[in-house]
Every structure is written in C-alpha cells, then in structure tokens.
Amino acid sequence: MKAIRTDEELECPGIDAALRARGVELVTLPDGIAEADLMREVADADLLLMCYTPITARVIEAAPKLKGIVKYGVGVDAIDIPAAMRRGIPVVNVPEYAEETVAEGAFALMIALAKRLPAIGGAVQRDGWVWPEQRWLGRDISGATVGLVGCGKIGRSMARMAGQGFRARVLAYDPNADRAELAALGIEKVDDLQTMLSACDFVSVHCVLNDKTRGLIGRAELACLKPDAILVNVSRGALIDEAALVEAVVAGRLGGVGLDVYSQEPLATSGHPMSPLFGRDDVILFPHLTFFTVEAMRRLEDDTLARCLEILDGRPVTVRSRDPRLRAQTAGVAFG
C-alpha cells in the first residue's frame, strides 16, 4: 500500500517509521505543494495524511484507490469533505491531542503581554537594564475580566486557568453553549458578542472556523474593545478581520495582540498582510506552534497512527470529533 503525507515540515518520525515498518510505501511532500503535483502523487495512493495542505475535490477525484483521509491535527476546513463523501472516502481528524496544550499556549501569550515581557525583555537585551518607568507598567490578570469567543474544550481549559487559577472574572460568547453548564464552571455566558467585548480586559478566541464564524471579529467588534485590551487568537486566523486588526494595532487602539494563527501561513516579514506587525513590542507573533510540545506530539502521533491502521486494515475509522461536517459521514466511519 502507498500513503502520502503532506506538510513534511511538521516532523512526525513516529508515524513515518511505523507506517514504513508495516510495509507501507510512504511519500512525504512539502508544505505549499501545487495542486497538480499533489494530484499526480495521489494517483496510486491508498491513504492520504494532511495537516495544512488543501485537499480539494480535484485532488480527491485524482485518487481512485484512496481509502481514507487523515488530518493529523484538528481543523478540517482545508478538506473538501463533501467531495470525499461523494466518493465514500472517510475523513477523520485528531481532535483531542492538544486541548490543554493549546489553552496553555493561549494563556502564555496573554500573560506575556500583560506583564510586558516582549517589551521589557527586549529592552534588557538591548540596554542591559531598565528602571520602573511608566512605559513598562504591566497588568494583573487577577481581578480583570477575561472574555472567551467560543467556549468548547480549549476555551473551558482557558477559563479554568484564568478563573480558578488567577481569580479573573470569565465571560464567554458561544451561542451553542449551555448557560447553566457554563455557570457551573464559573463562566458567565453573554449573548451578544459586542457587549462582551466591551466589558473585557483580555479576549481569547477559541471557536471553530466555518461560514458563520469567518470574520466574526471585524472592524465593528474591534472598535468595541477597550483601548488597553489584549487580544489573543490561537484558533484560526480567518476568525478575525486581519486587515482591520492591523489597522487597530498600528493606530494604537489595542493594548496588545498575541497571535498563533493567520489566514495566510507561513508569515513573512515583508509582503504579507500581517507584515506591519513585525518588530512591535505590543505584539507576539507565534508560528502556529502552541500545540507543539513533547506530550501533545506523542498523543498526536499515537492517535494518527491508530486512525491510519484502521483505514489500511479496512476497518471503520473512529471519528471522535463533534464537528458536524465529520459527523455527517455515513461510509467507513464509527463514531466514538
């Protein structure tokens, strides 16, 4: 059998070694591979693993032997799932490997900006010392209001860290969340996004990207934020109007921004829509790596390999995600 793994820059030695030990011919391909080149490579493939590379309808149609598509990660918006369903090709992701990990990453970005770590650390590296001048004043999370846009598993982990851990007031905007369930976790549900944003000192984004949430935080929502508010996004770049975000940061209308995700990845210091944010001490640009820890990668490799072996063995592949796009599948899947 033959397997294709795209996005080889994300090293997964455990997956690669285990598949090859099983006798699978494994071909790894780089990020940014052209659609035509990917179509040629999948022509005789039984299994396709992807992380970021778009898997279009044309790619799926070019793979007559394909038995399954495995996203070794969470988000599935780069896969044409309806095209796969028309062919009866199951699509599966690995939704649970980094929930706590990514929440820790979001909290790290938030606390680093609150304590002015980029600004002060950079000044000390440059000058050797700084004195307690007004420009270095940090912020406390304790007693502040933290708002969550989306309150699934990652958002709830973030809420626990901020609320129980740092004694912040935690608000959440999530139309799909149960108010009583959130209240039991110490989270106040707010029904209107702009109302919540206007009350927050810190905002962290944790919702899925779909047609309803694309551009959820636009120019009007950014205008609702306090001028010293700190905004963190570790979910998907397209949830925020990035052009409007750049305008707000450059104009000094936010207290800080921490980003791990972008509509166009990878970033570039010039010629990229987010390039104006480079070099600012009120911005942390992280390269989509809040998931990347020893523990999370071990879980990712173990779960990905388990899904691959189900497909290669001809067994139903286990779908643990609650994403309705994946739960709508009827061929070759078992729901866990």
Can you tell me the distance from the alpha carbon of 104 to that of 81, in angstroms, rounded to the nearest whole number?
30
Helix, strand, or coil here: 20? Answer: helix
Any catalytic annotation for residue 167? no
- Going 278 to 283 to 289 to 294, the CA torsion angle's sign is positive
Side chain identity at 112, as an amino acid letter?
A
Any catalytic annotation for residue 288? yes
What phi, psi does 199 have (nearest 5°)?
Answer: -95, -5
Can you tell me the distance from the alpha carbon of 187 to that of 137, in angstroms, rounded to the nearest whole number?
28
Side chain identity at 207, as an amino acid letter?
C
Residue 125: DSSP 8-state: H
Taking Cα atoms as reference points, which of 314, 303, 172, 155 lies closest to residue 235?
A: 155
Q: What is the CB neighbour count within 10 angstroms for residue 72?
A: 24
- The answer to whether 59 touches 36, Cβ cutoff 8 Å, is no
Before 13, cis peptide (omega within 30)? no
Any catalytic annotation for residue 265? yes
- The answer to whether 146 touches 162, Cβ cutoff 8 Å, is yes
Strand partners, 335: 319
Can you tell me the distance from the alpha carbon of 122 to that of 76, in angstroms, rounded to the nearest whole number?
37
The alpha carbon of 17 is separated from its chain's Cα centroid by a whole number of angstroms, namely: 26
Which candidate in 61, 160, 265, 299 is catalytic?
A: 265
Angle among Cα 17, 18, 19 to the nearest 5 degrees reads 95
**Angle, to 10 degrees, between the axis of helix 153-160 and the axis of helix 99-114?**
50
Which candidate in 104, 236, 301, 307 is catalytic?
A: 236
Can you tell me the distance from the alpha carbon of 217 to that of 209, in angstroms, rounded to the nearest whole number?
12
Which candidate in 5, 139, 206, 288 is catalytic?
A: 288
Q: State the catalytic residues.
A: 236, 265, 288
